[in-house]
Structure 1
């Protein structure tokens, strides 16, 4: 269990470092138009926008599933 947790943590850290290095490379070595196409117009807050998008998508999916389960159990309780 601890080996698996260790390797998941190592993979997460390596992935985060790779993303940071790739974004820094893109910012340093591409023209502005290409950079805007890849990273969007707000190039300084790409990570924040990505996390906000993931969080809002997670919440929307969670709410939809919760409504589905509530409807299923209300129907079962009313029988």
Structure 2
């Protein structure tokens, strides 16, 4: 259990480092117009926007699945 948790943490840290290095590379080596096209006009908060989008998508999917399950159980109990 602890071995898996350790390797998960190592992988997560490596991913965070890789993304931050890639982001720094893109900011340093691309023209401003290209950065705005790729990263959007608010280039300092790309990670926050991405996380917010993931949370919103998760919540929308969760609500749709809950509605589907409620509909299924309501039909079963009506019989």
Give the shorter-chain TM-score range: over 0.9
TM-score under structure 1 length normalisation: 0.95
Q: Aligned equivalents of 1:67 and 1:49: distance in 2?
A: 27
Q: Matched residues in 1 for 2:10 and 2:45: separation?
A: 25
CA RMSD across the alignment: 0.8
Unaligned runs of 5+ residues in structure 1 are: none
Q: What is the TM-score when the length of structure 2 is the normalising length?
A: 0.95
CA distance in 1, matches of 2:50, 2:65: 23
Task: Report the more deviating stretch, 22-31 or 51-60.
Answer: 22-31
1:75 aligns with 2:75: yes
Please list every run of at least 4 consecutive aligned residues from structure 1 whose deviation after the TM superposition is greater than 4 angstroms.
none
Once the two structures are superposed, residues 42-74 of structure 1 have per-residue CA deviations (whole angstroms, 9 ceiling, x without a partner) of 101100100010000000000000000000001
> Paired residues, what number?
79
Unaligned runs of 5+ in 2: none
